[in-house]
Structure 1
Amino acid sequence: MFAAVLHGLRHPTRRGVALLLAAVPLLLLAYVLALIPFTPRIGDIRKARIDRPALIVSADGNRLAEFKPVNREWVTLAQISPYVVQALVATEDRRFYQHHGIDILRVVPAALHTFSGTRQGGSTITQQLARNLYPDEVGRAPTLTRKLKEAITALKIESVYSKDQILETYLNTVPFLYNAYGVEMAARTYFGKPAAQLNILESATLVGMLKANSAYNPVLNPDRALERRNTVLEQMVKFGKLKPADCTWLKRQPLGVNFEIQSEPTGTAPHFAAQLRRWLIGWADRNGYDIYSDGLVVRTTIDSRLQDMANQALAWQTGQLQSIADAAWNTRTGCWPGNSLFQAFIRQTPEYRNARDAGLSDPAAIRKLAMDGQFVDALCHSKTQIQAGFLAIDPRNGDIKAWVGSRDFRDEPFDHVQQARRQPGSTFKPFVYGAAFADGAQPGDTIVDRNVTIALTGNAVWRPTDAEPPTGRPMSLRDALALSRNRVTAQLMQREGPAKVVALARAMGVRESPLDAVPSLALGTSPVTLKEMVSAYCTIENRGAYVEPRMVTRIEDREGNVLADFPAAHPEQALPASAALKLVDVMRDVVDRGTGADIRSRFGIHADVAGKTGTTQGNTDSWFILIHPELVAGAWVGFDDARVTLRNDYWGEGAHSALPMVGAFYDMALRAQVVDSRAQLAPPRKVVRPSRPRPRHHFLFWSF
């Protein structure tokens, strides 16, 4: 049988050729039908032109953000200059209004050119729209399968959309570089005006870019862009949209570009929104929603008033600290080639690697780059920018009320609340004291303040020190925590054991960062996140019960129907209530007379609060966390590169760098009565009154 088939192929008959020719279109049709399930569904296509991004709303009803897939402002066809449409149709698809998605008169010549070795485009506007809307399903590979998928999708689009809807969708989805999607953003980016105001020259320039965004970019390649623009004008003449005489004059005009990149609005809580977007994408995928087109309304826990206060407090304090950092790190002090640390910074740059690749020795490369003032200034600036994180949580239900991840989201999108792990210093000490109180210790119990040597693995030893010399006298646990004594805390850690303290910290909220069960952990040597620490301090105030932090209370559709509710998490008892009450009472002394006393003396806050400062070795990391019955707030201050410090023992301390941020925040919140100044911690105690009139602040300007 095989021999007969082979003979038939070698000696085809007229009947065999006819059957073969008849079979080819049938096979192609069968292949097309087989591809249909692998193209977008009609329902998805109907959704594609509905730009309804998820709206993120604060607990008090203010808009925080919108989740758009790209930087785009969707406009109707009536809001787009008619010159854009005329130029588009004349250049890209002159029979747009006559075909139904595929222009057969263009497909055949394009296919013949392609088969002859010269690729030629034959895609209609509708086919291009299919590629733009469904880059994954349709793709852009030059294959028959891709072209068939594109054609099938184009036919589906034509069956669902009107011609005007196709044009509107196309013009709102095409990319124009610089993160500008759609003609509205393109008009603002390249000409500083809305799409409705584009003149014929500007319209032709933007339509000309569609052939190749980069090649015909009027900023990068003005000459080629001008030539392409004039080609578009000639096409408009060819198809009756422009008079020849007008075209001759227009072609002599300059591009008239007014370029400005359009940044996406970040909102008042951009780092919070970034974390929320990740969570919401997962929720939407599991529940069959699209965060970009289903018009979801996400009700969050953020209080917009507290968020504004947090933003102001962080901006004010980091601005003060930056001036100190600038004095410590400039081309005469820290940022000069004689500084070994600055030399290390230079060695990390691409410029240094290029110099070494060019044959320069290490000293020669350092000298060459150190002579480049612009390079030195830029490197110094990038390494010595103060950074900070701030978080406030309601301890009663875990609701996140304010979240500031850096000084400026555009300059520093890295989140110092959720992503950064830094050593917490003495803010970790409450876990040691909490473990002791859980074992029955009392705040009045004493440990001798003396030099101690603690044996580690092998022959290593650890000798904790304090700024003050040891007194040799018994010191109460209350005083040791209030005054942040390392020697006493280290001895208490020996008594309780690192494993027990690690387990307690985990239960109280430090649940993601690894903790080393070693004696020095008592002084906060294992890096953690600010979110974990503030969450754990909420556990202290909440009578030892941990409540998982919450970002979202419910999700609604655009008509207000509730799609999902997210109640507060069930409390998990992490620390016995009696121990938590002792810990709160002792931590009151931190702000009444200890390392956090500036809360009362400088900021005049007389509400019932407790807290703890933290400073790591070398003043690398500065912390302060304050506990109020309705709000626990904490701040971290430092540099992204932990080798950089303020080079000043006073300003490097948490009491002088992180505390003012928290103090300013609470001052504003109490003045505005967003939190209750009369609320009492447990166990209740008489409200502390300042011994002098409350100071008037001249460093903050706020309004509500």
Structure 2
Amino acid sequence: GGFRRGQDDQGTEMMPSGGRRRAPGRRARGGPGGPDGPGGPGGPGGPGGRGPRDPRDFDDEPEPDGRGWKRFLPNWKIVLASAVVLAAGLFGMIAVAYINTPLPTEKEAQETAIAQGSTFYYHDGQVIARLGTKRVAITIDQVPQHVRDAVVAAENRSFYQDSGIDLSGLTRSVWMTATGQQTQGGSTITQQMARNYFQGLSTEQTIKRKVKEIFIAVKLDKEWSKDKVLEYYLNTVPFGRNTYGIEAAAREFFNKPAKKLTVAEGAYLAGRIQQPGNFDKAESEGDYKPTQERFAYVVSGMSQMVDENGKPKYPNITTTAKFPKPREARPSQEFGGLKGYMITQALFELRTTRNLSREDVESGGYKIITTFDKKLMQAAQRAVKATTTPMSKEFHAGLAAVDPATGRVLAFYGGDNYIHDPWNEPFDSRKQAASAFKPYVLAAWLDAGFSLNSWVPGSETVPKELPGTTKITNGERVPSSIDVTYATAHSINTAFASMAFALPGKLDDVRSIAEAAGISKKAIDEDENGVGGAHGHGYQLAIGSVGVTPVEQAAGYSIFANEGKHVDYHVIQEVRQGKTVVFPEKRDVRQVISPESAADAVTAMEQVLKVGTAAGKGIGRPAAGKTGTNNDEKEAWFVGFTPQLSAAVGMYREQCRTDSGKIVQPEYSNCPITPGGKPSKKYGPNNPYTHPKEVSLGFQGADAPTTIWRTFMMEALQGKPVKDFPPKSGIGTPENIVPSPTPTPSPTPTDIFPTDFPTDFPPGPGGNGPGGGNGPGGCVPGDLSCNNDDGGLQLNPGSNPTGPNQGGGTGGTGAPASTPVTSPSGAGNRRSGQ
């Protein structure tokens, strides 16, 4: 069978012929004259004479061949000969390459096709898991004709007529490959079969691979029958859900052998061949539109097929074939426990940085060495569980630990079982950084040439009305004039907002440092400028209104732990095929701030654990860090580091609420999609029974997050050598940005940090003790009785519709409290059922 082809009448349009008309008034030049007289007006003369001169020829001199501009033109014979030689050489090279491209035996092909699973390893070579393939080989006579036709309609409608390649598709594919665009596409079924079966074709993402694929496809078309090619193709092509081959796909999606597939089921599976991974992702989220559209395309193609007599093979298929909804995917045990989080993140990085799809990995025979440390992964889980087990499932915690010198993610905690809860907290959850963002302001301050010994305002911002920013205050009584170290240790909002304003580039300097340290540019843009019609936060960026992830923060603080240098975080150490390293580690080091600026920033941040908001939470060796808590204590952080290890812990709380406001307990930390998790006609992925609503944790960053961080770091660094930070450099110029007349500082900071304060300013009476940092949103601006150690961002008053006090979680005028982030799970924020 094949497709009906329209016949066009073809004729030849006759054009009138005739001589070329000479321009009016122009005479024909005479031929050369004979010896005894001039030649005639148009004919040749005898040798030696000249014909009459053209009146427009002002040069009486003869114009022999080879003179004038003509001498620069190559002889046409030479051009033709050169073209023939070049063409012959090109075709000769192609012929030699074609002849020297071997066609593996069927046995070799089968062995190559089957033994292609990939293995994931911890950084030290211990196996994490192996992603193999679900494949059951069958013969072509076990595949119904309508299933074969569906595959042809989906992938290669000229399959039964072409010679193994499709010239139009081939031209497009070669061009895209040559220009560095997508390297696959335009391939016939024969080419795809060759790529699936023969080792090397699926891994060489180059013109060489494409040419080799073409040669093998042409040879296969000559030596194998179409049915044989189709049989091998149907036994190896990926359909999604880790299935390869039509038999495995039929059992996975419809729980039946291929020979029992209906026309509609065959069309559905054939449509999946195009983008199995993307279709898996969409369907897992309850979105069947992409597969429905592809199903319609296949059915349309089948409706055009005709038999050997020219009659339609499926005359009524467009009306009779209904989209068959497949059965739900069953969890793969390879993804159980912590393994699923590691594998998923590794797959995400392979796809986004190496252009390797999951199908490539499952069929490529790769050895994938990750950066993960098994002992530290287990330590991270124990640290989180030790603190959160007494809490309800409404509480969520994410931990990420990064080697500051290499950017390698050594450990993280995203959940206990990926099968039950695929949301990976440290990579997927983007929450307001709160005061844990202030170190980037500190870095910009020091790198701009200011000193730790500078005076900064403690009681109000300078200027009082920051451009485009609602009033920023502190959560409790603060001395009116403090130094930068004190401001860092006690997390003083007004000081950091004023420091950002005093920078030469103002907020641009802050965002430049943060982005260079790995904080999402998109998140900063949306926070500063607003999104969805909401106003931006302006200088509230300086006190942490931007959304960050734990892994971004752990890697971002590496600029302090690694003497100003930053390496982007990554989870892939290297990828091998056999003994060959096909994808080495990507590690680009960049100097974000000077080593001297980093040393002084560390000096200030060490005080957080000594006498500041996290006092008493040290780990018995040099360490530094920063707490953070946003409005109403909805999100809380601690990010800390030693010279060897940087780790971040972020926490938040979500209640599952029905449309009527009823609170329902989560299932595996997820909000239920249906009542009791049972099938429901009313509720589903697109209309969930409950929705998550972020509520107060009831504690701050100095509490549970710091406790988790401390527990993890003490176990992770046990037995490791104690390393000191570089000494304070004391760079920069002491400045006074407190309004004149300068309020005299409190003596309390002098007692705490006597060597960090300027000595050239007159002392004076101070406040009633050290301030407590940025208090929670529950503190009304100006309410000095509000007592919090490291409270929330003082954002837009009245932004919380549920309470009278300042706060509300979002700040500003309605910008979201959390910014979506593209992640392996395909979502931005934790959603129902995830």
Could you say whether these structures have the same fold, taking a TM-score greater than 0.5 normalized by the shorter chain as the test?
yes
Indicate the residue corresponding to 2:727 in structure 1.
Answer: 683
Pairwise CA distance, 1:281: 3.9
The residue matched to 2:412 in structure 1 has which SS? Answer: strand
Which residue of the other structure, out of 612, 615, 635, is the alignment partner of 1:621?
Answer: 635
Measured in 1, the distance between the counterparts of 2:499 and 2:233 equals 68
Which residue of the other structure, out of 58, 69, 77, is the alignment partner of 2:122?
Answer: 58
Measured in 2, the distance between the counterparts of 1:152 and 1:579 equals 57
Change (3 A) 1:562 1:433: closer
Change (3 A) 1:634 1:449: same
The residue matched to 2:509 in structure 1 has which SS? Answer: helix
The residue matched to 1:450 in structure 2 has which SS? Answer: coil
User: Is contact 1:393-1:633 (8 Å) kept?
Assistant: yes
Pairwise CA distance, 1:530: 2.9
Measured in 1, the distance between the counterparts of 2:253 and 2:373 equals 34
1:308-457 equivalences in 2 (<5 Å): 308-322=378-392, 325=394, 386-406=395-415, 408-452=417-461, 454=463
The residue matched to 1:265 in structure 2 has which SS? Answer: helix
Change (3 A) 1:490 1:608: same
Which residue of the other structure, out of 639, 647, 668, is the alignment partner of 2:696?
Answer: 647
Measured in 2, the distance between the counterparts of 1:662 and 1:425 equals 17
Indicate the residue corresponding to 1:572 in structure 2.
Answer: 590
Whether 2:584 is the aligned partner of 1:514: answer no
Measured in 1, the distance between the counterparts of 2:520 and 2:331 equals 40
Measured in 2, the distance between the counterparts of 1:431 and 1:612 equals 11
Describe the superposition over 1:602-647 as per-residue Cα deviations: whole angstroms up to 9, x where unpaired: xxx2121111111111222221111111110112222479983453
Whether 2:715 is the aligned partner of 1:668: answer yes
User: Is contact 2:433-2:545 (8 Å) kept?
Assistant: yes
- 541-550 vs 401-410, greater mean Cα deviation: 401-410
Pairwise CA distance, 1:534: 1.9
Pairwise CA distance, 1:173: 7.3
1:31-70 equivalences in 2 (<5 Å): 46=109, 49-67=113-131
Describe the superposition over 1:354-373 as per-residue Cα deviations: whole angstroms up to 9, x where unpaired: xxxxxxxxxxxxxxxxxxxx
Q: Percent identity?
A: 19
Measured in 2, the distance between the counterparts of 1:485 and 1:544 equals 24
User: Is contact 1:607-1:677 (8 Å) kept?
Assistant: no
Which residue of the other structure, out of 644, 654, 659, is the alignment partner of 2:706?
Answer: 659
CA RMSD of aligned residues (A): 5.1
Pairwise CA distance, 1:262: 4.5
Change (3 A) 1:657 1:486: same
Pairwise CA distance, 1:539: 0.9
Pairwise CA distance, 1:563: 2.9
Describe the superposition over 1:652-704 as per-residue Cα deviations: whole angstroms up to 9, x where unpaired: x1222322332222132134x3xx2512222399xxxxxxxxxxxxxxxxxxx
Measured in 1, the distance between the counterparts of 2:248 and 2:9 equals 66
1:70-81 equivalences in 2 (<5 Å): 72-74=133-135
Pairwise CA distance, 1:188: 10
User: Is contact 2:135-2:244 (8 Å) kept?
Assistant: no
User: Is contact 2:190-2:229 (8 Å) kept?
Assistant: no
User: Is contact 2:246-2:258 (8 Å) kept?
Assistant: no
User: Is contact 1:555-1:565 (8 Å) kept?
Assistant: yes
Indicate the residue corresponding to 1:606 in structure 2.
Answer: 620
- 516-525 vs 163-172, greater mean Cα deviation: 163-172
The residue matched to 1:398 in structure 2 has which SS? Answer: coil
Which residue of the other structure, out of 469, 473, 477, is the alignment partner of 1:465?
Answer: 473
Measured in 1, the distance between the counterparts of 2:122 and 2:113 equals 28
Whether 2:370 is the aligned partner of 1:300: answer yes
Pairwise CA distance, 1:138: 4.0
Measured in 1, the distance between the counterparts of 2:648 and 2:712 equals 10
Describe the superposition over 1:205-235 as per-residue Cα deviations: whole angstroms up to 9, x where unpaired: 75675457979xxxxxxxxxxxxxxxxxxxx
Measured in 1, the distance between the counterparts of 2:403 and 2:461 equals 39
The residue matched to 1:655 in structure 2 has which SS? Answer: coil
Indicate the residue corresponding to 1:101 in structure 2.
Answer: none
Question: How many pairs were matched up?
Answer: 476
Change (3 A) 1:663 1:469: same
Which residue of the other structure, out of 545, 555, 577, is the alignment partner of 1:535?
Answer: 555
Pairwise CA distance, 1:449: 2.5
Measured in 1, the distance between the counterparts of 2:490 and 2:191 equals 74
The residue matched to 1:683 in structure 2 has which SS? Answer: coil
Which residue of the other structure, out of 257, 262, 265, is the alignment partner of 2:334?
Answer: 265
The residue matched to 2:717 in structure 1 has which SS? Answer: helix
Change (3 A) 1:424 1:211: same
Measured in 2, the distance between the counterparts of 1:270 and 1:135 equals 36
Change (3 A) 1:505 1:524: same
Pairwise CA distance, 1:306: 1.3
Structure exhibiting the larger radius of gyration computed from Cα positions: 2
Change (3 A) 1:269 1:312: farther
1:20-169 equivalences in 2 (<5 Å): 46=109, 49-67=113-131, 72-74=133-135, 92=142, 122=145, 137-138=155-156
Measured in 2, the distance between the counterparts of 1:165 and 1:312 equals 53
User: Is contact 1:172-1:184 (8 Å) kept?
Assistant: no
The residue matched to 1:554 in structure 2 has which SS? Answer: strand
User: Is contact 1:301-1:401 (8 Å) kept?
Assistant: yes
User: Is contact 2:652-2:697 (8 Å) kept?
Assistant: no
Change (3 A) 1:4 1:443: closer
Pairwise CA distance, 1:399: 1.6
User: Is contact 2:454-2:483 (8 Å) kept?
Assistant: yes
User: Is contact 2:563-2:598 (8 Å) kept?
Assistant: yes
Structure 2 letter corresponding to 1:514: I
Structure 2 letter corresponding to 1:610: A
Structure 1 letter corresponding to 2:378: D
Measured in 2, the distance between the counterparts of 1:152 and 1:509 equals 41
Indicate the residue corresponding to 2:512 in structure 1.
Answer: 503
Indicate the residue corresponding to 1:339 in structure 2.
Answer: none
Which residue of the other structure, out of 572, 584, 588, is the alignment partner of 2:602?
Answer: 584
The residue matched to 2:625 in structure 1 has which SS? Answer: strand
Change (3 A) 1:145 1:181: closer
Indicate the residue corresponding to 1:557 in structure 2.
Answer: 577
The residue matched to 2:334 in structure 1 has which SS? Answer: coil
User: Is contact 1:581-1:683 (8 Å) kept?
Assistant: yes
Pairwise CA distance, 1:409: 3.0
The residue matched to 1:543 in structure 2 has which SS? Answer: coil
Indicate the residue corresponding to 1:523 in structure 2.
Answer: 543
TM-score, normalised relative to structure 2 = 0.48
Structure 2 letter corresponding to 1:52: Q
Change (3 A) 1:209 1:305: farther
The residue matched to 2:114 in structure 1 has which SS? Answer: coil
Pairwise CA distance, 1:554: 2.5
Pairwise CA distance, 1:59: 0.9
User: Is contact 1:387-1:407 (8 Å) kept?
Assistant: no
Measured in 2, the distance between the counterparts of 1:169 and 1:209 equals 19
Indicate the residue corresponding to 1:595 in structure 2.
Answer: 613
Measured in 1, the distance between the counterparts of 2:234 and 2:156 equals 16
Measured in 2, the distance between the counterparts of 1:53 and 1:135 equals 29
Indicate the residue corresponding to 1:342 in structure 2.
Answer: none
Change (3 A) 1:158 1:184: farther
Describe the superposition over 1:348-392 as per-residue Cα deviations: whole angstroms up to 9, x where unpaired: xxxxxxxxxxxxxxxxxxxxxxxxxxxxxxxxxxxxxx3333221
Indicate the residue corresponding to 1:491 in structure 2.
Answer: 498
The residue matched to 2:696 in structure 1 has which SS? Answer: coil
Structure 2 letter corresponding to 1:621: E
Describe the superposition over 1:564-616 as per-residue Cα deviations: whole angstroms up to 9, x where unpaired: 433632x322112111101111111111222223533xxxx212111111111
The residue matched to 2:600 in structure 1 has which SS? Answer: helix
TM-score, normalised relative to structure 1 = 0.56
Change (3 A) 1:656 1:190: farther
User: Is contact 1:188-1:262 (8 Å) kept?
Assistant: no
